[in-house]
Structure 1
Amino acid sequence: MPNDMKPEALLNKVLGKVTDVLINGDGTVLPKATDHYLAFMSPGIPLLDDDFNYALEGFGGVNRHNVDTADLPGSVGPKDATAPSTEASAAAMASDALAKYQRAEAFQAMCDLIPDTTGIVDSNRINVWNPESRVSSVYALALQMSQVYDIQPDEETKAKIERWRSLLQTEEQDIVDPETTTLVPSKLVKRYQEKQFEWLKAATEYQNLRVDALTATNQEAVHRFATTASIIEMKVRAAANDWATNGYRDEYDRIAAAIASVEGRSYALLKQRYVEDFTRGVLTNPSSGANFLYTSPAPASFARGGSGWTEFTFGSGDYQSANSFSSSTSSGGGGFSIFGIGVSGSGSVTRTKWEGTIDASNFTLTMKIARVPIYRPWFHLDFLKSQYWRFAQNDTVVKDQLISDGQSPPQGLMPSITTECVFVRDVRIHFGESHSDYMSKFETVRGGGGFSFGPWWAGGSHVNQSDSRTFDSTWSNEGISINGLQLLGFVCHTLPRSPEPSPEITDWI
Structure 2
Amino acid sequence: MPFPLNDLGTALTAQIYQTVMGGDGNVKPDDDTFFTWVTPGLPFSAEDLDFCSQGIFSAPDAETQNKRVLHAYNLAQLLDFIPDVSMAYSNDKQEGMYKPDAEKHLSEIYRQILRFSKVVDHPLTEEEQAKLDRLRGKLFETKMVKNLATDVEEEKTVPSALMNAYNEHMTKYLDATTQYNSKRAAAAGATGPEGKQASADWILNQQNYFLRVKAAADAWVTGGYRNEVDDINAFINQTTQRSLKLWKQSLLERYDQAFISTPEIGVAFPYTTLVPGDLANSGGWTQIGVTHNHTQWAKDNTETSWKAGGGLNFGLFSFDANGGRKSSSYTETHAVEEFSMSFELCQALVVRAGFYPEFFANRGWILRKGEGWMFDQMPSDGARPPTGEFIGYATQAIFVRNVQIKSKEFRSAYHKTASEVEAGGGVGWGPFRLSGSYKRSDQHEDFDSTDDGETLGVNGMQIIGFVNHLLDKAPNPLDELDDAEFV
Shared fold (TM-score, shorter chain, > 0.5): yes
In structure 2, what is the equivalent of residue 98 of structure 1? Answer: 66
The counterpart of 2:118, out of the listed 113, 123, 147, is 147
Q: Alpha-carbon deviation of 1:265?
A: 6.4
CA spacing shift, 1:289–1:18, aligned 2, 3 Å: same
Quick check: 2:262–2:268 contact (8 Å CA) kept in 1?
yes
In structure 2, what is the equivalent of residue 404 of structure 1? Answer: 380
In structure 1, what is the equivalent of residue 12 of structure 2? Answer: 14
Q: Alpha-carbon deviation of 1:435?
A: 6.3
Deviations 1:208-266 (A, max 9, x none): xxxxxxxxxxxxxxxxxxxxxxxxxxxxxxxxxxxxxxxxxxxxxxxxxxxxx999963
1:463 equivalent in alignment to 2:427: no
In structure 1, what is the equivalent of residue 419 of structure 2? Answer: 444
Quick check: 1:340–1:446 contact (8 Å CA) kept in 2?
no
In structure 2, what is the equivalent of residue 132 of structure 1? Answer: 103
1:116 equivalent in alignment to 2:116: no
**What is the rounded CA distance, in whole Å, between the counterparts of 1:436 and 1:48 in structure 2?**
24
CA spacing shift, 1:436–1:368, aligned 2, 3 Å: closer
Give unpaired runs (5+ residues) of structure 1. 63-76, 78-92, 165-260
1:301-340 map, 5 Å:
301-303=278-280, 305-322=281-298, 333=311, 335-339=313-317
1:421 equivalent in alignment to 2:420: no
CA spacing shift, 1:377–1:161, aligned 2, 3 Å: closer
Quick check: 1:445–1:451 contact (8 Å CA) kept in 2?
no
Match of 1:269, as an amino acid? L
- What is the aligned length? 366
In structure 1, what is the equivalent of residue 37 of structure 2? Answer: 40
1:289 equivalent in alignment to 2:266: yes
**What is the rounded CA distance, in whole Å, between the counterparts of 1:436 and 1:413 in structure 2?**
42
In structure 1, what is the equivalent of residue 230 of structure 2? Answer: none
In structure 2, what is the equivalent of residue 200 of structure 1? Answer: none
CA RMSD of aligned residues (A): 3.3
* 3-state DSSP of counterpart to 1:459: strand
In structure 2, what is the equivalent of residue 508 of structure 1? Answer: 486
Deviations 1:373-407 (A, max 9, x none): 10012111110121011125771745984111112
In structure 2, what is the equivalent of residue 52 of structure 1? Answer: 49
Match of 1:48, as an amino acid? S
CA spacing shift, 1:397–1:35, aligned 2, 3 Å: closer
Match of 2:56, as an amino acid? F
Q: Alpha-carbon deviation of 1:3?
A: 2.0
Larger radius of gyration: 1
**What is the rounded CA distance, in whole Å, between the counterparts of 1:464 and 1:431 in structure 2?**
32
Match of 2:406, as an amino acid? H
* 3-state DSSP of counterpart to 1:350: coil
**What is the rounded CA distance, in whole Å, between the counterparts of 2:370 and 2:412 in structure 1?**
67
Q: Between the two proteins, what is the percent identity of the paired residues? A: 24
CA spacing shift, 1:147–1:312, aligned 2, 3 Å: same
1:379 equivalent in alignment to 2:355: yes
1:163-174 map, 5 Å:
none
CA spacing shift, 1:410–1:354, aligned 2, 3 Å: farther
**What is the rounded CA distance, in whole Å, between the counterparts of 1:117 and 1:483 in structure 2?**
31
Q: TM-score, normalised by structure 1?
A: 0.65
Match of 2:63, as an amino acid? S
Q: TM-score, normalised by structure 2?
A: 0.67
**What is the rounded CA distance, in whole Å, between the counterparts of 2:472 and 2:320 in structure 1?**
40
**What is the rounded CA distance, in whole Å, between the counterparts of 2:64 and 2:405 in structure 1?**
35
Quick check: 1:341–1:448 contact (8 Å CA) kept in 2?
no
Deviations 1:4-56 (A, max 9, x none): 31x33432331122111111421x21123322122111211111111111122
Match of 2:52, as an amino acid? A
In structure 2, what is the equivalent of residue 3 of structure 1? Answer: 2
* 3-state DSSP of counterpart to 1:37: strand
